[in-house]
Amino acid sequence: MWKLSDRRREALWGFLFIFPSYVGFMVFVLGPLIAVAAISLTKFDLFGGTTFIGMENLGRMLGDDRLKTVYGNTFFFTVFAVFFNLAVGLALAVLLNKQMPHALRNFLRSIYFFPVLVAHTYVAVIWQFLYARDTGVINYYLHLFGIGPISWLTDQRWVLPSVIIMDVWKNTGFAMLIFLAGLQSIPGVYYEAAQIDGASPWRRFARITLPLLRPTIFFVLVIFMIGAIQVFDTIIVLTGGGPGDASRSVVIYIYEQAFQNFDLGYASAIAMTLFGLILVLTLLQFWFSRRWVHYE
């Protein structure tokens, strides 16, 4: 009887500890998600009332050419931003994991991680000046090599690559820090044994580092993919989604439909498709991770 009372007391304390997080999830995540799902089935006008229309918003999305364009922009941005953030972050982590004075390593870590601490809005404002066609620093140095000037933010061919470059500069420090933690958790005895066997640096990286770093790579991949799909503030400050719809993301389009056109029903329907896309991609990554991620 005493043991049963202890268990109940322990369960009660456990429930009390998780209760604030539980309430926060219900109020700020699950509740709004259910509300958005309900609103997506209506014609919800802030000034004209609400009318249930079922799946009409879905049919409207299928014929919305602008929605296809912004989804294409978001897909392009996500693929290249995630790839370069992971690749550059891993390269920097490998370089910083080599033998060097601690002061130098800490200095380099601080430099590479500093952009992560700066708000996206400030970063976008700074890069607006760097990307300026006639007075920007980037075009100035390109001119020294006989290149340009390039209209980074007003040319449809260059606007998305411009956003991706800025995003990599801003966020790759976070990937570097996570990869560095993963590298430092790999036992050095593996590298010593491989070196004794005569394995080259590249072979040690391919046969030891990458396989043992797979859980870290998987974590960074999921986090960066979810963040990239929801990109909003950097684009809206840097380009406003232009020129035309060349850099407009899905989240910006949802914002415009909801708070500029006041069509909350259609905006909610688009938001539900975005939620479904993120959910499916995340589940697919977890499914594929069973094949190539091995946890110790």
Residues 174, 226, single domain; the answer is: yes
Query: For residue 248, what pLDDT is reported?
Result: 94
Cβ(77)–Cβ(160) below 8 Å? yes
Residue 179: alpha-carbon gap to chain centroid: 16
Residues 6+ apart with CB under 8 A from 267: 254, 255, 257, 258
Residues 122, 192, single domain; the answer is: yes
Residues 35, 73, single domain; the answer is: no
Residue 49 lies in a domain: no
- What does pTM read for this prediction? 0.89
Cβ(138)–Cβ(130) below 8 Å? yes
Residues 230, 285, single domain; the answer is: yes
Residue type (1 letter), 158: W
Query: For residue 100, what pLDDT is reported?
Result: 82
Side-chain-side CA neighbours of residue 144 (13 Å): 5
Query: For residue 54, what pLDDT is reported?
Result: 84
Query: For residue 1, what pLDDT is reported?
Result: 42
Query: For residue 2, what pLDDT is reported?
Result: 46
Structure tokens at 181: 């933690």
Residue 207 lies in a domain: yes
Q: What domain range includes position 118?
A: 56-292
* d(C-alpha 205, C-alpha 62), whole Å: 46
Listed residue (25, 29, 84, 35) closest to 221, CA to CA: 84
Listed residue (257, 285, 269, 255) closest to 78, CA to CA: 285
Residues 284, 207, single domain; the answer is: yes
Residues 175, 223, single domain; the answer is: yes
Residue 6 lies in a domain: yes
Residues 9, 124, single domain; the answer is: no
Structure tokens at 89: 């972050």
Residue 46 lies in a domain: no
Query: For residue 287, what pLDDT is reported?
Result: 85
Residue 51 lies in a domain: no
Count of the separate structural domains present in the chain = 2
Residues 266, 234, single domain; the answer is: yes
Residues 97, 13, single domain; the answer is: no
Residues 6+ apart with CB under 8 A from 106: none
Residues 277, 152, single domain; the answer is: yes
Q: What is the CATH number of the domain that holds 68?
A: 1.10.3720.10
Residues 189, 63, single domain; the answer is: yes
Listed residue (101, 83, 78, 111) closest to 177, CA to CA: 111
Residues 19, 162, single domain; the answer is: no
pLDDT tens for the 296 residues of the chain, in order:
445 567 777 888 888 888 898 899 898 888 989 999 999 998 887 676 788 888 898 899 999 999 999 999 999 999 999 999 999 999 999 999 888 888 888 898 889 999 999 998 999 999 999 999 888 899 999 999 888 789 999 999 999 999 999 999 999 999 999 999 999 888 888 888 888 888 888 888 888 888 889 889 999 999 999 999 999 999 999 998 989 899 999 999 999 998 888 888 999 999 999 999 999 998 888 888 777 665 55
Residue 50 lies in a domain: no
Residue 96 lies in a domain: yes
Residue 47 lies in a domain: no
